[in-house]
Amino acid sequence: MSESTVLNDAAKVKMTARDVKVFYGTNQAIHGIDMDIMENEVIAFIGPSGCGKSTFLRCLNRMNDTIDICRVTGQIALDGQDIYHPSLDVVQLRAQVGMVFQKPNPFPKSIYDNIAYGPKLHGLASKKSDLDDVVESSLRRAGLWEEVKDRLNQPGTGLSGGQQQRLCIARTIAVSPEVILMDEPCSALDPIATSIIEELIAELKQNFTIVIVTHNMQQAARVSDRTAFFHLGNLIELGVTNDVFTNPTQKRTEDYITGRYG
Amino acid sequence: MNNFSLILMLLVLMAVAYQFGMVRSRSLAGGNNSAIMHSRPHHYGMMVGLWAVLPPLFIMLLWNWFSPGVIQSMVLASIPAEHLPDGEQAAIIMRRISNLAANFGIVAEAAEWELNAANYLQALRQQSALMLTALMFIVASVGLLLSFRKIQPSLRARHQVEKVMMGLLLLCSTVAILTTIGIVLSMVGETLKFFTFIKPSDFFFGTTWNPRFSTAGVADGSLTGSQGSFGLLPLLSGTMLVAFIAMLVAIPLGLMVAIYMAEYAPSKVRNTVKPVIEVLAGIPTIVYGFFALVTVGPFLTDLGAMLGLTIRATSALTAGVVMGIMLIPFISSLSDDILTQVPKALRDGSLGLGATKSETIRKVVLPAALPGIVGAVLLAVSRAIGETMIVVLAAGNSPSLTANPFEAVSTVTVTIVNQLTGDNDFASPQSLVAFALGLTLFVITLLLNVVALVIVRKYREQYE
């Protein structure tokens, strides 16, 4: 990959990764990745299982810190600031770079409290009415408000799988992040719920930078501006989605996209 | 032959029959290549073994159940009419005759007719044992032969064997349940007897515990008015007070241990410390009792003197604190299991929103684990209520209705011990009250356990 793969020269770089390597114990999962992520783009990571795409995603908000044996080297910056710098507050980072997980994981609390959780932690709303506003606007932006506005006090775990995932997205939006990381957000959902989430991603693009890991190549083609193909811990190809899928430059990318392996 | 050697022989027979069946099924399968046996050889072996052993075993059980009665009536019939006992005397005479037959525990010189009867009894018993052995031998042979001849490729030996196995497992599992029911029934009987002396309302709502000695009781039926008072409330309040103090100690400490172990401890520390804490749960409670009496009690008294409080060395506080220490491993171990069951996805979700580790634990992990922790606490409470030795040694054994933790109290369990030890007439209310107390305790802990189990189960369903 090269600098020419950048989508739009005028776009501002949001996150940069330089020579990122990840080790689980003695086992190296990622072998030096360089990447620029642009502001307000949707970038999709594709690749076969175990290729390191989720691991790399989790480096972007230091979720790998929660795994004891995981070690990250190299440099990752958000708006030019090194996020692995010792003086950086990881709590602040995760408020800026939110994450939506593979399996919907609402807290065993009410729908309202699920959304209000983040804003309360970060002191984003001092008054009850402010908090109500944050909850409503987050749910509206996640396209869930109409479905749950009459039952905000019911447990979030009682919603359907697709609703739960949108609740988790709303929960992430509520802390006003700049980047949203999505780790296979639709893999546990049925096709209808998936298409709703995909529409949502297209809308969220206006305000957020979105990094999405997916196993579903059609999904990557539908939702993303650029696509990165990972294989065996290496970034093989990164380009404008349409180019990657119709005219890949690398043999391995073509083999994967045409279903020859993976 | 006695029953023990009969059972030994049956076991040997079973091993032999097992081999027979296995060899036979193998030779059937081997001799005719086109025959496909329905079951594995050991199923056929087991089937033959079971057929050879189970029917004679059943006969032996029945025989041992009925033969003593038959023999006894035959012996009684042989006794000359002038000595023939009537009513309850029969049992006494039979005991004497059977003692004579066994040459054991004879009090006076035996009369001629008694010796005759004893000899007759002895002869009958020998005959009975011989007949049983013969009968079992015949039944075992028939069972072995028939089942051996039935071995064919189409015989479903596996189904038979597995049915018997299921029956065996069912039998084992009913033992525990039947024992519980037996305990309750035995206590209910004695409790009802107790309530013929004391009105239930006086027992359950009485505020004075002063049973006096059984010698001052109702031996001649004229002293019913002065048999003391059996009020449950002072004991119950003592029990609750001690248990409450124990929980005040055990819940915070146990929970913090659990949180450290589940969330913060590196796996090395966790793997060493967790077993060590669980060993604490194995210390005999009487040892905790010494600890309370010798160390904690005087320490609390000194501490109280420093603060200007009068704390007795043996008090509800002493017993409660030590009991709380005893329960720490109980609560920490159960809560630790529950906390580690909370899915990692929930923690990740919270951390991903920018929560710190302690915020995640306080606001997500603990609420998610709360039902399970409540269950663990309720189980601990029921143990605290049933705990005896610590309280015997450290609570001061003073059945008074008080809410002051610095004073001596007594509990239900301690009182049961007091009422049942020493020279007591088991028909007096002073002894019988122990059963009423025991049943009350049983019902309370049973209810607590049921509630706890329901809560824990509900929690499990949430994540599995």
Who's near A82: CB < 8 A, 6+ residues apart? A75, A76, A88
Instruction: State the pLDDT confidence band at A236, using cuts at 50, 70 and 90.
Output: very high
Task: Give the β-pairing of A81-82 and A97-100.
Answer: unpaired
- pLDDT for residue A3 is more than 50: no
Instruction: Please tell me the number of Cα atoms within 13 Å of B136 on its side-chain side.
Output: 27
Question: Do the chains contact at A99 and B352, CB–CB below 8 Å?
Answer: yes
Whether the CB-CB separation of B191 and B436 falls below 8 Å is answered with yes
No. of helices (H) and no. of strands (E), chain B: 17, 2
| pLDDT tens-digit series, residues B360-418 | 999 999 988 888 898 889 889 999 998 888 998 888 888 888 888 888 888 999 998 88
Question: Do the chains contact at A101 and B348, CB–CB below 8 Å?
Answer: yes
pLDDT-wise least confident of A58-67, A188-197, B32-41, B294-303? B32-41
Chain position carrying tokens 């005028």: A10
Mean pLDDT on B109-132: 85
- pLDDT for residue B431 is more than 90: no
A61, A99, A157, best to mutate vs chain B, most B CBs in 10 Å = A99
Residues of A in contact with B348 (CB under 8 A): 63, 66, 99, 101, 105
Whether the CB-CB separation of B436 and B447 falls below 8 Å is answered with no
Decide: helix, strand or coil at residue B216: helix
Closest-CA distance, A182 to chain B, in angstroms, reads 11
Cα–Cα distance list, A55 to A102, A105, A172, A261 (Å): 13, 19, 20, 21
Mean pLDDT on B24-30: 82
- Identify the CATH class of B229-463: mainly alpha
Q: Which fold has domain A3-104+179-257?
A: Rossmann fold (3.40.50)
| pLDDT tens-digit series, residues B265-294 | 988 998 998 888 888 888 999 999 999 999
Instruction: State the pLDDT confidence band at A125, using cuts at 50, 70 and 90.
Output: confident
Contact with chain A for residue B182, Cβ under 8 A:
no
Whether the CB-CB separation of A226 and A238 falls below 8 Å is answered with yes
Residues of A in contact with B267 (CB under 8 A): 68
Domain ranges of chain B: 3-155, 229-463
pLDDT at B228: 75
Question: Do the chains contact at B343 and A105, CB–CB below 8 Å?
Answer: yes
Closest-CA distance, A98 to chain B, in angstroms, reads 6
* pTM, 2 dp: 0.73
E strands of B357-424, at which residues? none
pLDDT at A112: 94
Task: Give the β-pairing of A27-38 and A179-183.
Answer: unpaired
Contact with chain B for residue A67, Cβ under 8 A:
no
B269, B344, B347, B353, best to mutate vs chain A, most A CBs in 10 Å = B353
Report the candidate in B129, B130, B164 with the shortest Cα–Cα distance to residue B52. Answer: B164
Look up the ipTM and state it. Answer: 0.86
CB nearest to B354's CB, from A103, A109, A122? A122
